[in-house]
Chains A and B, each alone.
Chain A
Amino acid sequence: MANSMNITLKVWRQAGPDAQGGFETYVVPDANEHMSFLELLDVLNEQLIKEGKDPVEFDHDCREGICGSCGVVIDGMAHGPQQRTACCQLHMRHYKDGDTIVIEPWRAEGFPIIKDLVVDRSAFDRIIAAGGYISANTGAAQDANALPIAKYNADLAMDYATCIGCGACVAACPNASASLFTAAKIAQLSLLPQGDPERKTRVRNMVDQMDKEGFGDCSNHAECEAVCPKGISISSIAIMRREYVKALAD
């Protein structure tokens, strides 16, 4: 049978956006190696509810690394110690009996805390609404194969398109910049011929929106790439800069 582990958790608790927050310490005596990290939090919450306390709030949905809902800082690392892994896919076999784990929410001006580990990432939606799309009204499309796209470009566009919008890049960045997220979408759409007509307005509007939301500037720390669960490359940021300069040149 799986080994039982005694795990101590130091969790950031904050009752609401304007409330004073702080760490609380809890012990989960019967964690086991097959559990996912979020299942450990589930076990903790069941324990808290039974004790008449409020459970720890955290966002989650798919629990398979694709929806981008989950996201906490674990021992100082966005999404925790395993590379290219959203925290819902992190498993307890990476820990051992007696370990203490510190859990905090994303911290960034652009992501106000809602409660405990839950933050407001709606700024990301507003960045996309500013231009992260190709304008193609339903029904107006030509045959899908009328526009061949080199496999290399299509594959590269797909690499950038896999961003799950989790916000880890912002949380890990010393400047709390949203550049990796924004650039991933700009890079994807700039690689596709369908995206060409709007490329200039897109990059201008998205970058402006990013600034308005209170995210910092990128100064090439590359912490974002290191924590990104999808391995989005910072080469996207270079593409975004190039696109931006070209757009301003007009």
Chain B
Amino acid sequence: MSTVLDSKIPAGPLKDKWDNYKNTIKLVNPANKRKHTVLVVGTGLAGGSAAATLAELGYHVKSFCIQDSPRRAHSIAAQGGINAAKNYPNDGDTVWRLFYDTIKGGDYRSREANVHRLAQVSNNIIDQCVAQGVPFAREYGGLLDNRSFGGAQVSRTFYARGQTGQQLLLGAYQAMSRQIGAGNIDMYSRREMLDLVIVDGKARGIITRNLVTGEYERHFGDAVLLCTGGYGNVYYLSTNAKNSNVTAAWRCHKRGAYFANPCYTQIHPTCIPVSGDYQSKLTLMSESLRNDGRVWVPKKQGDNRRPQDIPEEDRDYYLERRYPSFGNLVPRDVASRNAKMATDEGRGVGETGLAVYLDFADSIKRLGRDVIEARYGNLFEMYERITGENPYEVPMRIFPAVHYTMGGLWVDYELQSTVPGLFVLGEANFSDHGANRLGASALMQGLADGYFVIPYTLGNYIANNSFPAVTGDEDAFNEAESAADARIKKLLSIQGTKTVTEFHRELGQIIWDQVGMSRTAEGLRKAIDQISALREEFWQNVRVPGEPTTYNKNLEFAGRVADFLELGELMARDALEREESCGGHFREEYQSAEGEAMRNDEDFTFVSAWQHTESGHVLHKENLEFENVELTTRSYK
């Protein structure tokens, strides 16, 4: 039966909610913290910052990651920057504006109270990171520099060259390392969480697999923090690191945590296109390139002249044509969809026809090569390294790629899932970005959750509950470990004819085609059938090589692809239910005569939260109340 979810938003005016919350929660006696073990799964910005902070507070923390070191979490790859409402440039930024831009950018499908808290703590993040020695870019006077990013009229993005994620993550990693050295965090690298263990209705443990020896381990404590990142790799090709997965979140989902808005995925318009079947991942090119590059395709279908041989009158600068006031700077979702339209019409470029040009010739003529080099030199170099083409001379080829997932496990204001004691942080939760995330706000959210939110909300949970001892020998642990082992054995026993990668690619293609940049009821129904058929085939015909007791990357991936095969179907279902277009979710049936997205606020101002049951998925709703902002239509014409 479908129910309405309670997000536990504190009382009071928006700007006082977080303070009111902090003023009224119960605190844990400092001397008792040591007695509470907290399991933190994931060491990205969310998990790294949470583990460090909780250990500083005195909790006993156990931390887990897939990679050989916590420093290698996917967060390391973020390039552009992190937002905060510092208003150092004095250009009129405020907490309210950061809140408002994020709500609007999310196409009014996120929770006001959470987003406002995020904007409030954003400034503390920058202070904290500087104190840790994060070498942010500075001006000559020695103060911090800011840059502007999409979706905002103020300069509020802090950055460390093109490696902001790396520097922020190393800051968190070093804070963690200090606690590891002090014995307050037990670090378990090269571990994969395979299940959540619930004892007497509360999350009390996890089952992990040691990826080097294949051994299962039972870890237990008083709360579990899931900080395992997003599920973009369901598409096979994405800008996510290869190990990014949904497995931990999905296993929690199957144990009772609701999965919210799985259909909200973000497709970034400026990535380096696919070059062949062997392609293993996609590389993002910062969207700042659209400030000076002009996007075009040939007017004629199948025009395979070299770009420099195609005269002006045979080119279609489609973004400038369709969106005269924003031109090449339309938001991510609009730019991506238009690139798809051009290639669907057979006007794509390059060997595969799945690319559009991003041309700097005019800017180079106008500003000179030096200026362009100063602005984008490192990006041009990266492009050339990958494609072997010199973008100063021939236009870049770009194409959209999956980049971020706004959906994730449902959490309330305290970041607690529908399973008591299971908290979800960072990209793994659904909470702050609605149907579309603005640039530079994922890093902000991950660190807000870990450094500044969870210390309070976890404390409140611990102080209000009792925790009878668990030993790891309870039935729930036995059952979860046997189930994990049975799955691994099953995967290895099939010995079919198709590899894990082949299945993953096929799944990715279905989802990209039907649950990607634009969706239709018909396509989504087709996808549901195709995915369930593929899943069946997987369990009969997959070939997983090697042993369960040694390092075996294919075996790890097999388990993750199996979960993606379930998640993919839910994404399609969620997209089918949502009969409107909003943010990253574009339903062709719901567009204006000019082809722009049309929200349906009357019927769809809610979060879809899916419950897994033996007999299938059940949809629950969290109604979104907007008391402080007015819902308007985004227009970029």
Contacts and interface: CB of A to CB of B under 8 A. Distances in A.
Interface in A89-130: 89, 91, 93, 114-115, 118, 120-122, 124-125, 128-130
Given A57-B551, A141-B124, A69 B139 contact: no
Interface in B142-176: 142-144, 160-161, 163, 166-167, 170, 173-175
Interface string A151-177: 100110110011011000000000000
Interface in B447-486: 451-452, 455
Contacts of A64: 77, 281, 283
A192 B175 contact: no
Given A62-B241, A68-B72, A128-B173, 18 more contacts: A33-B388, A46-B499, A59-B68, A61-B72, A61-B74, A67-B72, A67-B76, A129-B181, A133-B174, A136-B131, A139-B128, A139-B452, A142-B127, A144-B144, A145-B88, A151-B139, A194-B130, A194-B131
Contact of B177 (A128, A141, A157): A128
B69 A63 contact: no
A130 B136 CA distance: 24
B144 A145 contact: yes
A143 interface: yes
Contact of A122 (B69, B136, B283, B455): B69
B103 to A, nearest CB: 25
A67 B76 CA distance: 6
A223 interface: no
Contact of A133 (B88, B175, B276, B283): B175
B311 interface: no
A1 B67 CA distance: 36
B61 to A, nearest CB: 13
B269 interface: no
Interface size class of B (residues with CB under 8 A): 35 or more
Contacts of A150: 142
Contacts of A1: 351
Contact of A62 (B74, B128, B137): B74
11 contacts: A35-B278, A61-B72, A61-B74, A62-B241, A129-B180, A129-B181, A144-B129, A148-B141, A165-B71, A192-B133, A192-B135
A133 B77 contact: no
A151 B138 contact: yes
Interface of B: 49, 52-53, 56, 67-72, 74, 76-77, 86, 88, 124, 126-133, 135-144, 160-161, 163, 166-167, 170, 173-175, 177-178, 180-181, 187, 189, 212, 241-243, 275-276, 278-281, 283, 351, 385-388, 451-452, 455, 499, 501-502, 543, 545-546, 550-554
Contacts of B386: 36, 89, 91
B255 to A, nearest CB: 27
Interface string A182-202: 000000110010110000000
A231 interface: no
A165 B212 CA distance: 20
A148 B140 CA distance: 10
Contact of B133 (A114, A143, A155, A195): A195
A27 interface: no
B76 A62 contact: yes
A43 B541 CA distance: 20
Given A55-B554, A144-B144, A147-B130, A158 B160 contact: yes
A229 to B, nearest CB: 12
Interface string A45-66: 1101110111101011111101
Nearest to A16: B550
A135 interface: yes
A66 B163 contact: yes
B369 to A, nearest CB: 22
Contacts of A54: 545-546
B172 to A, nearest CB: 10
Given A35-B278, A63-B241, A144 B76 contact: no
A134 interface: yes
A35 B551 contact: no
A85 B385 contact: yes
Contacts of A132: 174, 177
B68 A121 contact: yes
A54 B77 CA distance: 30
A138 B52 CA distance: 8
A39 interface: yes
Contact of A69 (B67, B86, B88): B67
B142 A161 contact: no
Contact of A188 (B49, B133, B276): B133
A128 B189 contact: no
A238 interface: no
A59 B386 CA distance: 20
A248 interface: no
Nearest to A69: B72
Contacts of B71: 68, 125, 128, 165
A34 B127 contact: no
